[in-house]
Amino acid sequence: MTNASFHSGELLVQDRAGEAAIARRNGSAISGKVMFGARPFLRLQPMIVLSSSDEESAMWASIVSGRPGFLASQDGASLDIDLNRALVDPGDPEWANIRITRRDVRITSLETPEADGAPKSGAELTEASFAAFGNADTMFVATRSDEGGYDVSHPGGLPGFLKVTGPLTIQWPEYLGNSMFNALGNLVHNPEAGLAIPDFERGLVLQLTAGWSRYGTRAIPLTSAAAPIDLSS
């Protein structure tokens, strides 16, 4: 296994964390296709999380749910999403963004939903406004590298692991995972990130687009690192 599976940002973070050897070993599982044995599994899934960017290069993470069978991959190289089987939120930026970032995704629908309003920006995130999602135990982070690769990671923790630390800043602990550091590596190249924080019990999701604080990849033990994100970008 060589470093060819990783770009320079990922290699930098892996090296700083002292996890480069583990990353190379785990990276052997990286493939440009959905393996044949996983395609039936894909068709059973009721949810997918997508990463996209808009015309201003802001990143968005979007959660799309549907009846089993709304996701499929016939050849392993492309993904089919049947919107006739999906629960579609017309206001999600994904549907406008996918026209910009579309690559190996095929959309099956009579027409792509149109958003009924632009996302709000610049609004302060207060403890009160965040309270509805304050007990979240997972979220999804969308990032992109300079080489054009899009990624969604899913950090989590005990309920309440997300903290509002300022009017435009939230923070969460960064734990060791597969040691590949795809999201943090992307953020070395491009500090824009999109967050989707779900409340599965109530069927709600909070979507944020933001800029990563530059010191998010400091050479400190990542098991105790705090991952801050600035919502003012």
Ramachandran area for residue 183 (φ above 0: left; ψ -120 to 50: alpha; else beta): alpha
Query: Computed over its alpha carbons, how large is the radius of gyration of the chain?
Result: 18
Q: What is the mean pLDDT of residues 57-75?
A: 91
**How confident is the model over 22-41, as a mean pLDDT?**
85
Would residue 202 be called left, alpha or beta, if left means φ above 0 and alpha means ψ between -120 and 50 degrees?
A: alpha
Q: List, as one string, the DSSP characters of 203-224.
A: TEEEEEEEEE-GGGG-SS-TTS
Of residues 124 and 49, which shows the higher confidence score?
49
Q: What is the mean pLDDT of the chain?
A: 77
State the pLDDT confidence band at 51, using cuts at 50, 70 and 90: very high
Look at the block and give the residue holding tokens 């939120």: 89
Q: What is the pLDDT of residue 221?
A: 30
Q: 80 vs 3, which has greater pLDDT?
A: 80
Q: How far is CA 49 from CA 18, 23, 128, 195, in A?
A: 29, 23, 27, 11
Q: How confident is the model at residue 131 (pLDDT cuts 50, 70, 90)?
A: confident
Q: What is the pLDDT of residue 66?
A: 92
H or E element: which one contains 171? strand 169-174
pLDDT at 111: 38
Lowest mean pLDDT among 46-60, 143-157, 159-173, 196-210: 159-173
pTM of the model: 0.78
Where do the domains of the chain lie, and which CATH numbers do they carry? 31-118 (no CATH), 120-233 (2.30.110.10)
